[in-house]
Amino acid sequence: MNAETANYFLHGFFIKKKEGSIAAKLLLISFDALGSDALDEMMTRPVFRRFVENGTIFRDVVGSFVSNTYPIHASIATGKPPRDHGIISNTRIDPGNPKPRWRYDSRELRAKTIWQAAKEKGLRTAAVLWPVTAFSKDIAYNVPESAAGMGENQVLLNLRAGSKWTQLKALLRHGKILRGVRQPNLDRFSTLTMLDIIREDRPDLMLLHLTVYDSACHACGLGSPEASAAMDELDRHLGMLLDAITPDTRVIIFSDHSQLPVSRCFDPNTILAELGFADRNEDGSLMNARAFFLNADGNAVFFNRSLSDDEIAAVESRLHDADVAERKLTEAELETAGFTAERLATLAEAETLDASVVFGLAAKVGVYFSIDKTHRATHGYPLDYEAYRVFYAISEKNYRFEPKNILDVTKIVCHESGLTL
């Protein structure tokens, strides 16, 4: 058995490939929130349909919990669940802040990434709006997804967090398209930026994150005219990218999570305020909190600081009366998602957290946990919910692979590019 074959079995999978074992280049595209249930409609778009007909698609794939954007993209980047890579939520745990800092900083990752493995192999990576890439020294052409905090300038933050020259060129050429982070402008900027990088810099590994469909579904709902228009946008972007890449480039498209329709927003922290266990600010943040919930739309995790068993029982009784939870998260779900004492101690905010996990909640279908009442669809639910599957597709016909879950994407990337994690 040679080293390459041994590596397949060590990673627990088997792929039979055509001749020419390693792809010269690889483009990985994230269609944020385009779940498996949306594929029939997406297949009516001409470019995507031709891509699938000439390649291989895997439908109804199990996702990764927590099924939110940053944890999943970190899992794709590392091949590991949140308990191992450390990105357990989209934002830091900060109940006193109505807009907590997003986990965009790659230095918070606790596992080796595909871009680190690529650099070790002498390959150059380009990443455009890919989550958790900020401040990476291993990405040659980096336009990171970041979010400026209070008093920070977004442009200056990105210039510090990514590749200055790549970003300056992108802003000079395409900056007039941008309207903050509004869609479809943001994805148009992202795709044009990646097209420039492909044509001028010719990187080996390319990572592109497109969020127009996610934004449309959150704001207007699944099946809305806006969601349909977002599919049109994705198809146009895909067409431009396929026209730009070289013939030796392998392309993988995947969805990070699906979405489910919602009609009721509920913030369980209101229960804590009503019981006198926390003070509530008008912006939704908490002060003097003896306990708090970390809301993540389809789930919420309850952290305790100083409540007694009887006080915790009072919280649970109020939750039961509110009729918002399908069930509690299992111990296995909490552990895989990284909500353990061991993992919490490694978080950037560990010194100020001063709390332990008591339980987690899975929201009922139609309900989501948040202070943002604008959503018409969302994600973050456990993986056993109906119509909550994802997909991935590759540009090679009859690609033989036994699908297990969305982390298959990482295995395929490593195989195609000859990387070792």
Whether residues 208 and 287 share a domain: the answer is no
Whether residues 25 and 158 share a domain: the answer is yes
Whether residues 115 and 154 share a domain: the answer is yes
Examine residue 23 and state whether it is found in any structural domain, yes or no. yes
Whether residues 241 and 286 share a domain: the answer is no
Whether residues 234 and 284 share a domain: the answer is no
Examine residue 8 and state whether it is found in any structural domain, yes or no. no
Whether residues 272 and 250 share a domain: the answer is no
Whether residues 37 and 140 share a domain: the answer is yes
What's the CA gap between 131 and 144, in Å, rounded?
A: 7
- CB neighbours (10 Å) of residue 225? 10
What's the CA gap between 367 and 361, in Å, rounded?
A: 12
357 in Cβ contact with 326 (< 8 Å) = no
Whether residues 248 and 336 share a domain: the answer is no
Q: What is the pLDDT along the chain (421 residues), one digit of tens a residue?
A: 344 333 333 333 333 343 334 568 999 999 999 999 999 999 999 999 999 999 999 999 999 999 999 999 999 999 999 999 999 999 999 999 988 999 999 999 999 999 999 999 999 999 999 999 999 999 999 999 988 776 778 888 888 999 999 999 999 999 999 998 999 999 999 999 999 999 999 999 999 999 999 999 999 999 999 999 999 999 999 999 999 999 999 999 999 999 999 999 999 999 999 999 999 999 989 999 999 999 999 999 999 999 999 999 999 999 999 999 999 999 999 999 999 999 999 999 999 999 999 999 999 999 999 999 999 999 999 999 999 999 999 999 999 888 899 999 999 999 999 999 9
The sheet carrying 377-378 orders its strands as 366-369, 260-266, 377-378
Examine residue 2 and state whether it is found in any structural domain, yes or no. no
| CATH code of the domain in which 396 resides | 3.40.720.10
Whether residues 215 and 291 share a domain: the answer is no
Examine residue 9 and state whether it is found in any structural domain, yes or no. no
Examine residue 6 and state whether it is found in any structural domain, yes or no. no
> DSSP string covering 332-348, please?
HHHHHTT-SHHHHTTST
Examine residue 240 and state whether it is found in any structural domain, yes or no. yes
Whether residues 121 and 254 share a domain: the answer is yes
> How many domains in the chain?
2
Beta carbons within 8 Å of 9's beta carbon, 6+ residues apart:
none
Whether residues 407 and 357 share a domain: the answer is no
Torsion of CA 378, 381, 387, 393, to 10 degrees: 80
- Give the pairing type, strands 390-394 and 366-369: unpaired
Examine residue 197 and state whether it is found in any structural domain, yes or no. yes
pTM of the model: 0.93
pLDDT, position 210: 98
Which among 190, 183, 184 is positioned nearest to 167, based on CA atoms?
Answer: 190
pLDDT, position 407: 97
Examine residue 159 and state whether it is found in any structural domain, yes or no. yes
Give the range of the structural domain holding residue 100, as residue numbers without chain letter.
14-259+385-417
Whether residues 182 and 298 share a domain: the answer is no
What's the CA gap between 420 and 118, in Å, rounded?
A: 9
pLDDT, position 115: 98
